A and B are shown apart, each in its own frame.
Chain A
Amino acid sequence: MSIEDLFAAIRTAIDAGVVIAFAGSGELLAERVGVLNLGQEGLIGIGAVTAVLAADAGAGPWVAFVVGMAAAGLMGFLFAVSVVVIRTNQVLTGLAVVLTGVGLSNQIGNGFQGSPVMHTFETLRIPFLADIPQLGPALFNHSPPVYLCYIALPVVVWFLLFRTRHGMNLRAVGQDPAAADAAGINVTGIRLAYTTIGSALSGAGGAFLMLDLTPVWSVNVARSRGWVALALVIFAAWRPALLVVGAFLFGALDSLNFLIQRLNLGIPSSLLKMMPYIVTLALIIVPAVLTRFGFKGRSTVAPGALAQPYFREER
């Protein structure tokens, strides 16, 4: 393996992590306001297939990207109305979103099997930085959503959550909706809004998948990235920056598989494919065990009201 291969692998790792980073950030927002949205897999599918539809109708990549976000956002809004207003069970309704999203996107996408998306994102070279030997092309020669996802997204989410009054309110809604309600915060409104925004971000992940990463439709397009995004939110302990780091790590494991397969070391691909899930599981369990045995680490506690419907009359 040459040094070029290594940097090429880093480049792929960065791109591969984007889908999970978008979906994970969306999930993080929803969970911070107390809504467990298990529907990621379906939302990514919807975002992907509507982006393909838009691109097929002649839209440019940005328009298709926004269409993907809007469609997933709409589906997320319906989910939010169901769990926040009607207060259906969040786990079950989330699974319903998975089924409906995966089913619908496969049905619609069936006609696009094998035909590449016409207008994908162009790469945006960052001047000067991209000229650094090896490292430059690996880090600073990606399509615009990649920079958005690794730089703008975590900063914006972090600032919103931890540096604004509104962010404090929305964390309060996720922690103790009754107290937040008593303080005059609109619990229902905030939960609806951030579940919808979060779903739109998952749609952005799906759209990116089709408009840059692998611009050909295939069945079950999300390839369980949605489930990984859900797991990474726990790994990241509901912190936006850590989530993006986790997404990149997962992308790295993904591209490492690819690299090892190319090197032909004789390791079966099934065994490589299970590695990311085992690593994610370890990343979730090990910190909890360490805390248990007296290591004082960062807080790994979920938002207090996660997956709990709020009903004012039942305080």
Chain B
Amino acid sequence: MSVAVGSRSIRLERRLHVDPRRSALIRVIGLLASLVVVALLLAITGRDVPVLAGEILDTTLGTSFGLQSTAVLATPILLDAIAVAIPLRMRLWNIGVEGQFYVGALAAAGVGIYVDAPGPILLVLMALAGALGGALWILVPALARAFWNVNEIITTLLLNFVAIQWVTWFSIGPWRDKEAEVVSATPEVGARLPVLIENGILHIGFFLPLILAAAFFVVFRSWRWGYEVDMIGGNPRAAEFAGVDVRRRIMSVMLLSGALAGISGMVHLSGASGRLQGTISNQYGLSGFIVAALAGASFVALIAGGLFIALLLASGVALQGVGLSVYIVLAVYGLALIGIGVGEMASRYRLTIGDRREHPVGSERGPP
């Protein structure tokens, strides 16, 4: 694409090499730009932006409770983001993490309520049930993708709505807590993840995504399985010629993704909510999806992104204090996303201004 201005032309050129550090910097600039837009909008509608910003930082990072609740919020988002990032490395979009999270929590709750076992063993059983539930929930989309070539974006998405209804039905129907008169939730599960600080809310589940991100970083750097997945992501036909069983990889990657999302549901259930209910996920799956996609499926960038999104969502409390509804956070979230997305593209291309005669028609393709 080139725009002629007089005898000069402004061209958008693809960079052959994208420096990751520069790319990250530009994304952050894109993000800051969108936050500036939000600040301007707030200022126009008569809010004192500096005071508000101070309040947001105070309620999220300024107190121990604020820090803890941000970390608790970040845990399911990060786990879901890892679940999305793995299939994303072979260009498969699992938008169904929300549903797999729900079914994982459902399966874990079933074990946690009805199985009688000592705490640690029960937690392991719950995690296994959660992983199985999540994997089961992605099985049909995975089969459809691997064997019948049905696009996974919509199939995984549709099952989200089904999963939410199952959880709602179980928690207000057969598994409802009859003793505590809690109308829309199950009884508390038999084992809870321990908290880190006495009387605090931060549970040890927070470390799981950090450990998993490090583990998958290694897997994709030096394991054959990870290398093959990346290869399929780069060029599926080339991978097939090289002898990679693409269908088997699709199945293993998608089932692993579902299982991780299911474990995310189990961790949130046993670490934070305690009881299963229809509203157990506050769209963590969507946030995790966004974080993974923005991080370009990089396990390092994903941690930073997930923590930031958790901070953004946690800041909703301060915004509500000045008469804005919780929904405005969603809108800010969307704008931030666009800002980062534009930044990502900007880092891949560069504007060049040159003499038009230097660029004869044949050279449009650039160097080979």
Interface residues of A in 71-108 (CB under 8 A from B): 82, 86-89, 91-93, 95-104, 106-107
Write the B173-192 contact mask toward A (1 if CB under 8 angstroms, else 0).
Answer: 10000000000000000000
* Whole-angstrom distance between the Cβ of B92 and the nearest chain A Cβ: 12
Pair B325/A96 contact, Cβ less than 8 Å:
no
Bound-state CA distance A281–B153 (Å) is 12
Pair A292/B161 contact, Cβ less than 8 Å:
no
Bound-state CA distance A312–B166 (Å) is 48
Bound-state CA distance A107–B362 (Å) is 52
- B210 near A: Cβ within 8 Å? no
**Chain A residue total in the interface (Cβ 8 A):** 49
Question: What residues of B have a CB within 8 angstroms of the CB of A87 in the complex?
Answer: 345
Which one of A82, A100, A284 contacts B330 once the chains associate, using CB atoms below 8 Å?
A: A100
* Whole-angstrom distance between the Cβ of B360 and the nearest chain A Cβ: 14
Pair A91/B169 contact, Cβ less than 8 Å:
no
Question: What residues of A have a CB within 8 angstroms of the CB of B325 in the complex?
Answer: 106-107, 110
Pair A103/B328 contact, Cβ less than 8 Å:
yes
Pair B165/A274 contact, Cβ less than 8 Å:
yes
Pair B173/A88 contact, Cβ less than 8 Å:
no
- A270 near B: Cβ within 8 Å? yes
Q: How many A-B residue pairs have CB under 8 A?
A: 144
Nearest residue, chain B, Cβ from A224: B161
Most buried by B among A93, A100, A289: A100
Question: What residues of B have a CB within 8 angstroms of the CB of A5 in the complex?
Answer: none
* Whole-angstrom distance between the Cβ of A22 and the nearest chain B Cβ: 19
Bound-state CA distance A82–B339 (Å) is 10
* Whole-angstrom distance between the Cβ of B17 and the nearest chain A Cβ: 15
Given contacts A86-B342, A277-B158, A313-B14, contact A102 B330 (CB under 8 A): yes
Question: What residues of A have a CB within 8 angstroms of the CB of B342 in the complex?
Answer: 82, 86, 88
Pair A89/B324 contact, Cβ less than 8 Å:
no
Pair B169/A110 contact, Cβ less than 8 Å:
no
Interface residues of B in 19-78 (CB under 8 A from A): none
Pair A100/B331 contact, Cβ less than 8 Å:
yes
State which size class the interface on B falls in. 35 or more
Pair A86/B158 contact, Cβ less than 8 Å:
no
Bound-state CA distance A106–B327 (Å) is 6
Most buried by B among A82, A92, A281, A291: A281
Pair A89/B341 contact, Cβ less than 8 Å:
yes
- A112 near B: Cβ within 8 Å? no
Nearest residue, chain A, Cβ from B153: A91
* Whole-angstrom distance between the Cβ of B29 and the nearest chain A Cβ: 15
Question: What residues of A have a CB within 8 angstroms of the CB of B18 in the complex?
Answer: none
Question: What residues of A have a CB within 8 angstroms of the CB of B169 in the complex?
Answer: 268, 270-271
Pair A314/B14 contact, Cβ less than 8 Å:
yes
- A135 near B: Cβ within 8 Å? no
Bound-state CA distance A227–B144 (Å) is 19
Question: What residues of A have a CB within 8 angstroms of the CB of B204 in the complex?
Answer: none
Write the B149-172 contact mask toward A (1 if CB under 8 angstroms, else 0).
Answer: 111011101110110011011001
B interface residues (Cβ-Cβ under 8 A, vs A): 1, 13-14, 93, 140, 144, 147-151, 153-155, 157-159, 161-162, 165-166, 168-169, 172-173, 286, 289-290, 293-294, 324-325, 327-335, 337-338, 341-342, 344-345, 364-366
A interface residues (Cβ-Cβ under 8 A, vs B): 42, 82, 86-89, 91-93, 95-104, 106-107, 110, 219, 224, 227, 230-231, 234, 268, 270-271, 273-274, 277-278, 280-281, 284-285, 288-289, 291-292, 302, 311-315
Report the 4 A-B pairs with minimum CB-CB distance, sorted nearest first: A103-B330, A100-B334, A103-B331, A99-B334
